[in-house]
Amino acid sequence: MSTIGNFEGFQPVSLKQEGDELLKTDQPSKEEASSSQDSAKRPVSSQTSVTESTLYPNPYQQPYVSRKYFVTRPGTIETALEDLKSHIAETFGENIQSFWLLTEIDHWNNEKERILLVTDKTLLICKYDFIMLSCLQLQRIPLNAIYRICLGKFAFPGLSLDKRQGEGLRIYWGKPEQQSLLSRWNPWSTEVPYGTFTEHPMKHTSEKFHEICKLSGFTSKLVPAIQNAHKNSPGFGREKELIVLTEPILIETYTGLMSFIANRNKLGYSLARGSIGF
């Protein structure tokens, strides 16, 4: 499976001029240095334009965009990891083997910011409030209950109005055909027997996030953990072997009005949304 994006290091970004106004810089060009008196007499509109270059980790990511996500603020992700480590050790007596920041896509195509934790026995899916720095919900899935993993591009019904591009990962710990009709059509249902994930939008903001948001890295840790859990569980047999498939991941949404509004406004993320009032 190909990963989304590619981090090649720092690259220059040129800021384009808008309209007929030309950009000014703090340092003059060589022509302006040699004829400062002539250039001082010229009007601003007739001066030669000089483009500015700025270095960013990702040339397509404006720095203010990453600062809107609370998870990228200094110390936030470290605090979340320490909180969850102590809670899981005290409550379940387990140690975290790997820690990931991904985006969950529910059965109604809504994006949700999630922390995923892998221990020797369980996969934990955490809804974490990066504003208040607190865990709001923790879903605990035994690794020996996971029997299938699908990797591939997202697919939608032909008549769907809200489609998404890219690749994802779907983890099955129950059979979808056994899901009730009420649960399938309830956007807030917690009885969905699988989870669908893709990479977090802040993957390219730094080297640290590039590692913990990488879907391929999460898969490389999850698969052997599940296989070990199956081998160590009682009654291990052929019917409990993990199946890893490469196939399109179907999301059965048609109108998609709710997900269209939620995803365009990033309602599933801890985001700075500006002040209200005067």
How much is the pLDDT for 50? Answer: 38
Query: The pTM is what?
Result: 0.74
How much is the pLDDT for 64? Answer: 65
Report residue 175: phi and psi, to 5°. Answer: -90, 125
Q: Are 117 and 111 in contact (CB under 8 A)?
A: no
Candidates 115, 114, 96, 97; CA nearest to 105 is: 114
How much is the pLDDT for 239? Answer: 55
Residue 143: strand pairing partners: none
- Helix (H), strand (E) counts: the chain: 8, 11
| DSSP single-letter state for residue 49 | P
Helix (H, G, I), strand (E, B) or coil at 1: coil
Residue ranges per structural domain of the chain? 17-50, 63-264
Please list the pLDDT of the chain residue by residue as tens digits (278 residues): 444 444 344 344 444 444 444 334 444 444 444 444 444 444 444 444 333 434 444 544 556 677 899 999 999 999 999 999 999 999 999 999 999 999 999 988 999 999 999 999 999 999 999 999 999 999 999 999 999 999 999 998 887 777 889 999 999 999 887 777 777 777 778 789 999 999 999 999 999 999 999 999 999 999 999 999 999 887 655 456 899 999 999 998 877 788 888 888 899 999 988 765 54
Candidates 116, 163, 168; CA nearest to 138 is: 116
CATH number of 63-264, picked from 3.40.50.720, 3.50.50.60, 3.40.50.12590, 2.30.29.30: 2.30.29.30
